[in-house]
Amino acid sequence: MRLLAGSANRPLAAAVAEQLDIDLTATEVSRFPDGEAAVSVDPDLRDEHVHILQPTSPPVDANLVELLLLVDAAARCGAARIIALVPYLGYARQDRRTEPGQPVSIRVISDLLATTALERVIVIDPHTRYLEAVAGVAVESATAVPDLAQAVADDVPDDAVVVAPDLGAIDLAQGYATRLQLPVAYVNKERLAGDEVRAGEVVGAVADRHPVVVDDMISTGGTIAAAIDALHDAGSREEVTVVATHALLAGDADETLGALPLRRLVVTDTVARATPSALDLDVVSVAPLLAETVRRLETGGRLDELETFH
């Protein structure tokens, strides 16, 4: 069994390898002067089970192409089985057309993955629950919610309320609420542009409660900031706990989130950043989750027995 990493999140790949007590198989990724990716892998992969860890986090398109090329390289070396560990899957937000003239982007991306020699793709907390339905390649979704909920469980006041910052996060919020034994509320959000959202009414009892705002991902931080504004308008306590699986922290996210009255900002390490965030992040590693997934894939164990696959 081999574990390979693209360049998107080598620290996470190293942590998974350590958990599995194996060495990472060598890969090289460089760029031609015109920007094309050039990848190569240790060619000693014949008949091996190969796992390739590569989130398609920013730069999204470059990391996606790198993943496709790594899969092809491993296949041409004779790998018996190739599985992609894609802890953060970009484009999953674009799972439907919200206006005429748009593509269904995640369909295009999953079709691309399906053209490769991949046997399956493992993702963590994808934006859409219906990824399996649109993807032409076998996708299995793990969740970091149990680990994230455990990370905040001892610190959340008894009178807290779990808040979905938009309708799409309600299932996720319900997962946290069940684990933390708290009620749920949600904020009606309207996305005006990629970096602009408008929060509407808050549905649920939040007055005088400590909000625990949960989401699958934080990109610019606009959704979280708008939700917190709406919660304050609805009478919630000032301080807020924010929990999200994927910390993309794009654009002005550090400034936007840094200006908020955050008690804790808890995320995972699915996304690596070129420059460290200035934010005080509590990071929960998904390395144990991924390592156990790989172990079970190798031994024929069932993934659905794991809490992280519910």
Catalytic residue annotation: 189
Q: Report phi then psi at 74, rounded to 5.
A: -65, -40
Query: Least Å distance between CB 225 and ligand R5P?
Result: 8
Binding characters for ligand R5P, 153-192, by CB under 6 A (x = yes):
------------xx-xx-----------------------
Q: Which stretch binds ligand R5P (CB under 6 A): 74-82, 179-187, 209-217, 299-307?
A: 209-217
Distance of alpha carbon 219 from alpha carbon 88, whole angstroms: 12
Q: Is 197 in the site for ligand R5P (CB under 6 A)?
A: yes
Contact pick of 66, 125, 215, 269 for ligand R5P (by CB under 6 A): 215
CB-count burial class (<10 Å; 0-12, 13-18, 19+) for 305: exposed
Q: Is 219 in the site for ligand R5P (CB under 6 A)?
A: yes
Distance of alpha carbon 201 from alpha carbon 37, whole angstroms: 46
Q: Is 246 in the site for ligand R5P (CB under 6 A)?
A: no
Strands 184-193 and 160-164: parallel
Site for ligand R5P in 74-93 (CB under 6 A): 93
For 259, the token pair is: 């200006």
Q: Is 54 in the site for ligand R5P (CB under 6 A)?
A: no
Q: Is 221 in the site for ligand R5P (CB under 6 A)?
A: yes
CB 209 within 8 A of CB 161: yes
For ligand R5P, the closer of residues 64 and 218 by Cβ is 218
Query: Least Å distance between CB 138 and ligand R5P?
Result: 24
Distance of alpha carbon 29 from alpha carbon 40, whole angstroms: 7
Q: Is 222 in the site for ligand R5P (CB under 6 A)?
A: yes
Q: Which residues form the interface with ligand R5P (CB under 6 A)?
A: 93, 127, 165-166, 168-169, 197, 215-223
